[in-house]
Amino acid sequence: MSAPNSAANQTFDPEDIRTWPRLRPAPMPPPPLPALPFAPLPPLPPDQTEALRAAALHANDRYLADFVEAYGFCPYARKGRRLGQVFRYVHYASDADARPLVHLLHEVAADRRQLVVQVIVPLVEVGAEAWTRFCAALVEHGNCGLERDDRLATAALHPKLNYREDNPFSLLTLFRRAPDPTIQWVRMDAVRALYAGRDGGTRAVSPEEVDALLARPPMTPLYDRIAHTNAAMARRLRVAWVEELLAGFRADAQREYQRILLDPRFDETEGA
């Protein structure tokens, strides 16, 4: 009878053992730091930067309170804000590269209180497609090396995002037309918790419940339900009206930014 094929009966050539680590595939290099898709903004005096920050937050307030929350376009928005789980930052983009944004991403990832984060980037000149690509590349780079539960999902918000009315899913980008280019981050563990049990998960049932459970129609995935609910609301309001409302938020914000940039009092402060 032959001996069982166990580790105790196997022999290894020492040279094989030394060679084995070199035969393993090399780890993939981290994604590169994405280049900024816009020209850096000129430096401004601190008080002028603070005035722009306040104006950007006000514009974002209108978008969130008077649109997203008022018409229920995000079922989590109001509750998350009330529970203190939504954080917002204004990034005046005068830096030459994206490293400050990566640093902010890592700070957010390390703070489990911050479930949803919006980073508002006012005044930059960037198209919607270039902004969307940048947001995706930024989070891919920033997530590299983070623990699984600390990683962030991202969505690009931009005042000129393209949308189509032919199906509920292609209409979703209309609702992301924030007044300024904005990066939205959501903790991946929060996303998993939100969807847990919503897409046909399992649970224990008693024999008496089986017939009732089988008679119930299958649960629609959460993402699908949100898309269809949002599309129904947009058609009820009229899609053209929604587009006009969001464009109005953008126009008001731009006028306020121009007023702040042209305010001579800030020139006097800089000279002092």
Q: How do residues 141-181 score in pLDDT, each as one tens digit?
A: 999 989 988 999 999 999 999 999 999 999 999 999 999 99
Name the pTM for this structure. Answer: 0.80
Domain residue ranges of the chain, discontinuous segments joined by +: 29-194+222-271
Three-class SS of residue 174? helix
Q: Which of 37, 247, 93 is nearest to 239 (CA)?
A: 247
* Distance from C-alpha of 56 to C-alpha of 122, rounded to nearest angstrom: 7
* Distance from C-alpha of 117 to C-alpha of 106, rounded to nearest angstrom: 12
Structure confidence at residue 2 as a pLDDT band (50, 70, 90): very low
Backbone angles phi, psi at 120, to 5 degrees: -90, 130
Give me the pLDDT at residue 50, please.
98
| Number of neighbouring beta carbons within 10 Å of residue 103 | 11
Give me the pLDDT at residue 130, please.
98
pLDDT in tens, 30-53: 899 999 999 999 999 999 999 999
Q: What's the mean pLDDT when you consider all of the chain?
A: 85
DSSP 8-state class, residue 116: E
Give me the pLDDT at residue 174, please.
97
Q: Which of 183, 49, 34 is nearest to 98 (CA)?
A: 34
Helices (H), 123-263: 128-143, 188-195, 210-215, 222-237, 239-262
Q: Beta 86-90 vs 152-157: how paired, if at all? A: unpaired
Considering just the CA atoms, what is the radius of gyration of the chain in Å? 25
pLDDT in tens, 78-132: 888 899 999 999 999 999 999 999 999 999 999 999 999 999 999 999 999 999 9
pLDDT in tens, 183-230: 999 998 877 776 554 444 444 434 444 444 344 445 457 778 889 999
